[in-house]
Amino acid sequence: MIERYTLPEMGRLWSDQYRYDQWLRVELAVCEAWTATGAIPSEDMERLRPATVSAERVAEIERETDHDVIAFLRAAGESVGPERRWLHLGLTSSDVVDTALSITLVDAGELLCGQLERLETILVDLALRYKDTPTIGRTHGVHAEPTTFGYKLLVWLDETRRNLRRLSAAIEELRTGKLSGAVGTHANVPPEIEEHALSALGLRPALVATQVLGRDLHAQFLNTLAVIGACLEKYATEVRHLQRTEVREAEQPFGERQQGSSAMPHKRNPEKMERVAGLARMLRGYATTGLENVALWHERDISHSSTERITLPGACTLLYYMLHLMIDNLRDLRVYPEKMLQNLELTHGLVYSQRVLLSLVDAGIDRQEAYKLVQGHAMRSWETGADFRQLLSEDERVSKVLGHEGLAEAFSLEPHLRHVSAGYARMGLETE
C-alpha cells in the first residue's frame, strides 16, 4: 500500500521483517514440539532459540534462489550453527507461510477492532448529544418525515456494533494454522507436533487441510472488511450530502489554515469523506479477488499467493486508515441544528401529510378518500408554495372532522421526537 494511506502501527504488520519474524516463530514452535518428543536434542534446541533473520539477507539470497521460503531458511540458518538442520523438519512452505499469515491477520484484525471500538464510542456520544435535535428524514433524496439527527447516528452505531461482531467472528475463524506437510496428510509431521506447535502460537489446527488452509477463511475476512468499508462509505455519503450548499446541515471539520480549492478561496469541500467513499471501492475489489482465490487446483496451486501479497495487506491497511479518517472527522463534525429546522420547514408543512392522513382515517373517513383529499392539497402546496396546514384548515371536510386542535396535533413535531426513545432503549442507551 502506498505510504499516503499507511499508518505505522498497521504498516509494521505487513513489513518484510515482520513476516519473516512470524515465519521464524512458526519454525521454532515446530522445533520445540519435536524437542518435546525427543526427536530434536534439547541442547540443539537451546542453540536454535536465539535464531534471528534479516529481511535484507533474505532478499539477497532470494535473488539467487527465486524462492522466498528457501531464502528465509538459509538466512535464518546463518544465525545459528549445525543445529540449523532441524529447521523445517517435516514441513512444506505453505505450513509456515499460511500459519504465519493467520497470526498476522489476527494481529491486523485486532487493530481494526480497536478502531471500530473507538468509532463506536464517538457514535454513542453523537447519538446522545443530538437525540432531540429535529431534522428532516429523506427518502429518494426528497423530504419525507421528521426524525432526529441523533437517531440517524444511532443507526450508524447499530451497524458499527454489527461490524464488530462480524469482524470478531472472522478473526476467530482465522485463529487457525496448518502444519501437516505436503498435501496435508501428516505423512512427515504427526498431528501431535502440529497441535503442540499451534497451541504455543495461540492457534488451533485446521480440522482437515490440503497443502494450504482453505481460502474461504481469507475470503470471509476480506468480505467482512469490504462490508465495514461499505458502511463507512454510507456515513461519508451522508455527510457529503448534508454538506451541500443547498442543505448545509452538517460538514466535516475545516482547519483554520486549510485550503479547499486552488482556484476558489471560498470552497470547503468534503474531500476526506470523498476519500473514504473512493477507498471503499478498492475494498470491494479486494473482496472479489478473495472469492476468486477459493477455487485452487486439486490440493493446491499458488495462483492465490500473488494476489494475497496485495489484497490482504492492502485491505487491512486501507480499512485501518479509513476508520482513522472517519473517527477524526466525526469527532469534530460540524452540526447546524438551526439549518436543520430551517430545512424541515422548507416544504410549508408537507412533511406532516401522513399524520393528517392517519388522523382523518381515525376520525372515520375511508383511507382512499382521505389519501386523495390530503394529496390534492399537498400537490397544490408543492406547486404554489402555499402553506399546507392553511390549505387543509380552509377545507370544510378536514376542519369539520379534525377541528383546530386535531389539525394542530397532526402538525406536531413531538410524536416524531418522542418515539425515537424506543430505538435508544433497544440499543442499551437509556436516556431521561
- Tell me the backbone φ, ψ of residue 335, rounded to 5 degrees: -125, 135
Beta-strand (E) ranges in 198-241? 204-205
**Contact between 215 and 287 (Cβ < 8 Å):** no
**Measured between alpha carbons, how far is residue 341 from residues 125, 139, 156, 336 in Å?**
21, 18, 22, 9
How does residue 419 score in pLDDT terms, banded at 50, 70 and 90? confident
Residue length of the chain: 432
Question: What are 91-127's pLDDT values in tens digits?
Answer: 999 999 999 999 999 999 999 999 999 999 999 999 9
**Contact between 392 and 398 (Cβ < 8 Å):** yes
- Residue identified by cell 443530538 is 130
Residue 316 vs residue 406, higher pLDDT: 316
Catalytic residue annotation: 140, 261
Q: What angle do CA 398, 400, 403 make, to 5 degrees?
A: 85
Q: How far apart are CA 154 and CA 216, in angstroms?
A: 33
How does residue 289 score in pLDDT terms, banded at 50, 70 and 90? very high
Is the domain spanning 350-410 CATH 2.30.30.40? The answer is no
How does residue 418 score in pLDDT terms, banded at 50, 70 and 90? confident
Choice among 220-229, 299-308, 310-319 with the minimum mean pLDDT: 299-308
Query: Tell me, what's the pLDDT at 372?
Result: 95
Element (DSSP H or E) covering residue 138: strand 134-139
**Contact between 239 and 270 (Cβ < 8 Å):** yes
Query: Tell me, what's the pLDDT at 263?
Result: 73
Checking if the pLDDT of 287 tops 80, the result is yes
H helices present in 332-352, as ranges: 337-344
Query: Tell me, what's the pLDDT at 431?
Result: 63
Segments of the chain assigned to CATH 1.10.275.10: 1-89
Query: Tell me, what's the pLDDT at 2?
Result: 83
Question: What are 381-403's pLDDT values in tens digits?
Answer: 999 999 999 999 999 999 888 88
Question: What are 144-186's pLDDT values in tens digits?
Answer: 999 999 999 999 999 999 999 999 999 999 999 999 999 999 9
Task: Tell me what the mean pLDDT of segment 251-257 comes to.
Answer: 80
Report the candidate in 316, 346, 325 with the shortest Cα–Cα distance to residue 276.
Answer: 325
The model's pTM is 0.94
The CATH T-level fold of domain 92-341 is: Fumarase C; Chain A, domain 2 (1.20.200)
Query: Tell me, what's the pLDDT at 432?
Result: 53
Q: How far apart are CA 95 and CA 88, in angstroms?
A: 9
Report the candidate in 299, 259, 245 with the shortest Cα–Cα distance to residue 92.
Answer: 299
**Contact between 272 and 329 (Cβ < 8 Å):** yes
Checking if the pLDDT of 203 tops 90, the result is yes
Task: Tell me what the mean pLDDT of segment 272-278 comes to.
Answer: 95
Average pLDDT, the chain: 94
Secondary structure (3-state) at 250: strand
Choice among 72-86, 214-228, 243-257 with the minimum mean pLDDT: 243-257
- Tell me the backbone φ, ψ of residue 146, rounded to 5 degrees: -65, 145
The dotted CATH code for 1-89 is 1.10.275.10
Beta strands 334-335 and 250-251: pairing type? antiparallel
Query: Tell me, what's the pLDDT at 179?
Result: 97
Q: How far apart are CA 395 and CA 374, in angstroms?
A: 10
Segments of the chain assigned to CATH 1.10.40.30: 350-410
Query: Tell me, what's the pLDDT at 261?
Result: 65
Checking if the pLDDT of 344 tops 60, the result is yes
